[in-house]
């Protein structure tokens, strides 16, 4: 079975199969997200009756409930559920502030999935008075890049095969891959070639697409729709995730990361620009809309590269130590938030947000444009300039 833990869902595209409880060291052939990076067996996790992670801890006499929306970095791929930063931060809660929580994150999800979730939760009266954490940005860029030749599909939810295997909206290939296992290797071969050329960090067209800023404005459009569907009692908070690559890194740190990870120079530059774009976007949302931020990015950015490398499986996904560090940081920063004083959701000026972002992000889009011009004559770019295990997640 291609994805033993996912099921198709007409609302979300896909989610977890219900009532999973993996608590032993099982060995099966599975995609990277569910394979422990050290043990190489299945990560230990449990799902609820709906198809999302079931919280390990539940509390009585609580001060509120946290809902987490995000993708692989909030789900905690390649580590046991108990070691994800969400679970690590919220275990053994004591004192004046105690919260129950629900993690709606899944590998491959983006703001379009978050929107579908928000609408469904509101429809079922489960959204009222919840404190909402959004960890967005990475997959907004990724999805925008991978379907840049088919922009009409940007705001559709994808099923598990479309989102994690072929990166292409196709009912035909979904049917074939769901019913004829022998076709997997053949279809994988051709979509793999397409993917590696399309998403190669030496491909000038990917840099050109980044320079146009389309993923940011589509992200903001989805966020606008999300906010319109929230209840008056909701408190939105943003998570600013970290990574390996930063524009502020000294040359020696950049080379150390390139030499000791799977990123190439072009890959480093691309990721560094993306994380800068995401951070400016989130900071601007926070500034204009008075929305708090839980900032993981700064703790990694302030580290020298040798220290930073200790906390990551790859360029964006934290290992056990990295997840625990983020969990401790979450606990530390959440103490300073007074949820009674945080302004409740009001009407926000998204036109002002878009115009402000255009001005603040222009220099980063220009960096991407210059890079695309430098690579423009490199039509025979090496196909290897994208890590073999980075995409897709089979």
Beta-carbon neighbour count of residue 355 at 10 Å? 11
Residue 115's DSSP bridge partners are none
Average pLDDT on 337-343 reads 70
Global pTM value:
0.94
pLDDT value at 343 more than 60: no
β-strands 99-103, 293-295: how paired? Answer: unpaired
Tokens 């502030």: give the residue. 97
CA–CA gap between residue 13 and residue 232 (Å, rounded): 28
CA–CA gap between residue 356 and residue 287 (Å, rounded): 11
Average pLDDT on 124-130 reads 91
β-strands 45-46, 21-22: how paired? Answer: antiparallel
CA–CA gap between residue 301 and residue 324 (Å, rounded): 17
CA–CA gap between residue 33 and residue 53 (Å, rounded): 14
pLDDT value at 160 more than 70: yes
Q: What percent of the chain has pLDDT over 90?
A: 72
Q: To which H or E segment does residue 238 belong?
A: strand 235-240
Spacing of C-alpha 55 from chain mean position: 19
pLDDT at 380: 59
Whole-number average pLDDT of the chain: 90
pLDDT by residue (tens digit) across 94-126? 777 889 999 999 999 999 999 999 999 999 999
Among 90, 108, 91, 103, residue whose Cα is nearest residue 34: 108
Concatenating the DSSP letter of every residue in 34-99 gives GB-TTT-SBPPEEB-SSSSBPPS---SS-SEEEEEE-SHHHHTTTS-GGGSHHHHHHTT--SS--E
pLDDT tier, 274 (very low <50, low <70, confident <90, very high otherwise) = very high
pLDDT by residue (tens digit) across 206-259? 999 999 999 999 999 999 999 999 987 888 999 999 999 999 999 999 999 999
Phi and psi torsions of 326, nearest 5°: -65, -40
Cis upstream peptide for 136 (omega within 30°): no
pLDDT at 388: 53
pLDDT tier, 393 (very low <50, low <70, confident <90, very high otherwise) = very low
Spacing of C-alpha 362 from chain mean position: 23
Confirm if 75 and 107 have CB atoms less than 8 A apart.
yes
Looking at domain 6-375, its CATH superfamily turns out to be: SGNH hydrolase (3.40.50.1110)
């Amino acid at each position: 079975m291609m994805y033993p833990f996912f099921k198709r869902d007409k609302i979300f595209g896909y989610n977890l199969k219900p009532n999973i409880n993996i608590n032993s060291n099982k060995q099966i052939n599975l995609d990277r997200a569910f394979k422990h990076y050290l043990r190489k067996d299945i990560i230990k996790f449990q799902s609820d009756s709906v198809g999302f992670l079931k919280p390990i801890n539940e509390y009585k006499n609580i001060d509120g409930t946290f809902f987490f929306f995000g993708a692989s970095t909030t789900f905690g791929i390649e580590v046991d559920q108990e070691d994800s930063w969400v679970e690590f931060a919220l275990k053994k809660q004591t004192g004046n502030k105690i919260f129950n929580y629900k993690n709606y994150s899944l590998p491959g999800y983006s703001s379009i999935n978050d929107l579908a979730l928000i609408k469904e939760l509101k429809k079922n009266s489960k959204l009222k008075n919840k404190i909402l954490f959004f960890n967005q940005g990475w997959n907004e860029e990724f999805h925008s890049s991978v379907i840049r030749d088919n922009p009409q599909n940007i705001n559709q939810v994808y099923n598990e095969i479309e989102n994690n295997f072929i990166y292409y909206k196709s009912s035909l290939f979904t049917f074939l891959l769901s019913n004829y296992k022998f076709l997997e290797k053949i279809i994988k071969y051709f979509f793999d070639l397409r993917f590696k050329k399309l998403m190669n960090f030496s491909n000038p067209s990917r840099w050109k697409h980044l320079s146009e800023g389309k993923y940011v404005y589509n992200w903001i459009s989805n966020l606008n729709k999300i906010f319109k569907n929230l209840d008056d009692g909701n408190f939105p908070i943003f998570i600013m995730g970290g990574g390996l690559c930063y524009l502020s890194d000294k040359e020696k740190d950049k080379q150390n990361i390139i030499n000791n990870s799977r990123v190439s120079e072009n890959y480093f530059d691309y990721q560094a620009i993306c994380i800068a774009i995401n951070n400016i976007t989130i900071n601007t949302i926070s500034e204009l809309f008075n929305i708090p931020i839980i900032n993981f990015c700064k703790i990694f950015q302030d580290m020298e590269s040798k220290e930073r490398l200790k906390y990551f499986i790859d360029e964006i996904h934290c290992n056990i130590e990295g997840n625990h560090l983020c969990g401790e940081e979450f606990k530390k920063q959440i103490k300073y938030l007074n949820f009674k004083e945080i302004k409740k959701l009001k009407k926000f000026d998204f036109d002002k947000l878009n115009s402000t972002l255009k001005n603040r992000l222009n220099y980063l889009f220009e960096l991407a444009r210059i890079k695309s011009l430098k690579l423009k004559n490199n039509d025979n770019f090496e196909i290897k300039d994208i890590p073999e295990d980075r995409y897709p997640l089979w």
